Amino acid sequence: MASEANARVVPGFLDYLKVEKGLAPLTIAAYTTDLAQFAGFLQKRKRTLLNARRNDVRDFIQQLFANAVDGRSVGRKLSALRHVYRYLLLDKLIEHDPTLNINSPKQWKVLPKSLARDEMDAILSRPQVSSLRKQDEALAARDRAMLEVLYAGALRVSEIIGVKLEDLKLDLGYVLVRGKGDKERIVPLGKSAQDALTEYMKHSRVVLMAGKTTPLLFFSRGARKLTRQRVWQMVRAASVGTGRNASPHMLRHSCATHMVENGADLRTVQTILGHSDISTTQVYTHLALDRLKNVYQKHHPRAKAR
């Protein structure tokens, strides 16, 4: 490809990354791909890596964000460009570094996606079944309970498939969750989640076990452990018809965002989410503020200029 040929105008660069910088092979491979992508971007502008300007780098980064590339990946691509231009300067192949004074993407600005409350209501009411088969009814009840728990407690996928029956304290209205680093936290469950769990526990769990046993709260047919992919498929199927392609993580983000919108303090939200640092939780104040501004612009009679 022409872009790959363009990227190879830097002889010795890969050896420089490996020997001088001591970068891992996977990082070098990623940098090579990033460099080829930027070279292809420049080619459309009839430029090369050797005569790129600062505006080219800025426009490249802007295009990445416009294409919904996450902040971490953008940061890595910018790091690859900084390495190559530092190398070109040392080799005296260029006189100016076009990556100078370009700030790295700030991770806190990459706002997580959340659902509106009416979208969330539509998803929670989605898992219905008209089949008379007990297995199908049991699966629908399980899915309803899982969706309610994902949203009520802002659980990650790995957390919900790992919850054990002994972790559920339904009479007390909470569940014990093991998060990242095996850290435990107590997550409260609202009435909707409690009702869905009660229905699931009363009629459906034993049907899905099919005579087998398991310590897990949620599982697949025959007491088999659920996979992460299956949970993603279930959430995606529940979001069909809502206009959004939802994921389990969007339910987690929606829980946090809606709590902040309703006045919850960040420390409480931090505890529910299991964040070790409150700065990670502060992103939800930005989400809530953005939505507040959008609602204001839409509904206040003097919000728009005449």
Query: What mean pLDDT value characterizes the chain?
Result: 86
Whole-model pTM: value is 0.63
What is the structure's pLDDT at 123? 93
Kindly report the CATH number assigned to the domain that includes residue 214.
1.10.443.10
The residues near 252 (Cβ < 8 Å, ≥ 6 apart) are: 150, 154, 155, 156, 273
Active site residue 44: no
Of 68, 89, 109, the domain-final residue: 109
One of 45, 134, 180, 228 is an active-site residue; which one? 180
One of 252, 253, 258, 300 is an active-site residue; which one? 252
One of 83, 126, 144, 156 is an active-site residue; which one? 156
Do both 191 and 248 map to the same domain?
A: yes
More confident residue, 20 or 290: 20
Instruction: Please check the confidence at residue 6 and state whether its pLDDT lies above 50.
Output: no
Strands of the 174-178 sheet, one edge to the other:
168-169, 174-178, 184-188
What is the structure's pLDDT at 106? 58
Do both 67 and 133 map to the same domain?
A: no
Characterize 37-57 residue by residue with b for buried, 16 or more Cβ atoms within 10 angstroms of its Cβ, and e for exposed. bbbebbbeeeeebeebeeebb
Q: What is the pLDDT of residues 116-175, one digit of tens each?
A: 899 999 999 876 666 668 899 999 999 999 999 999 999 999 999 999 999 999 999 999
Do both 168 and 294 map to the same domain?
A: yes
What is the structure's pLDDT at 2? 44
In a domain, 306, yes or no: no
The residues near 104 (Cβ < 8 Å, ≥ 6 apart) are: 75, 78, 79
Of 109, 138, 155, the domain-final residue: 109
In a domain, 304, yes or no: no
Do both 227 and 104 map to the same domain?
A: no
Do both 102 and 159 map to the same domain?
A: no
Do both 99 and 125 map to the same domain?
A: no
Active site residue 180: yes
What is the structure's pLDDT at 297? 79
Q: What is the pLDDT of residues 29-56, one digit of tens each?
A: 889 999 999 999 999 999 999 999 999 9
Domain with 23 in it: 2-109
Do both 173 and 36 map to the same domain?
A: no
In contact, 208 and 135? CB cutoff 8 Å: yes
Kindly report the CATH number assigned to the domain that includes residue 33.
1.10.150.130
Active site residue 286: no
Instruction: Please check the confidence at residue 204 and state whether its pLDDT lies above 70.
Output: yes
Do both 101 and 166 map to the same domain?
A: no
Do both 188 and 290 map to the same domain?
A: yes
Active site residue 178: no
Average pLDDT over residues 88-102: 89
Active site residue 284: yes
Do both 150 and 273 map to the same domain?
A: yes
In a domain, 19, yes or no: yes
Q: What is the pLDDT of residues 171-188, one digit of tens each?
A: 999 999 998 878 899 999
In a domain, 266, yes or no: yes
Do both 167 and 257 map to the same domain?
A: yes
Active site residue 300: no
One of 76, 86, 224, 249 is an active-site residue; which one? 249
Do both 162 and 281 map to the same domain?
A: yes
Query: For residue 72, with 0-12 CB atoms within 10 Å meaning exposed, 13-18 middle and 19 or more buried, which class applies?
Result: exposed
Average pLDDT over residues 64-84: 85
Of 57, 88, 109, the domain-final residue: 109
Instruction: Please check the confidence at residue 113 and state whether its pLDDT lies above 90.
Output: no
In a domain, 179, yes or no: yes
In a domain, 242, yes or no: yes
The residues near 189 (Cβ < 8 Å, ≥ 6 apart) are: 149, 152, 153, 170, 173, 174, 175, 197
CA proximity to 153, closest of 226, 218, 240, 242: 218
Counted domains in the chain: 2
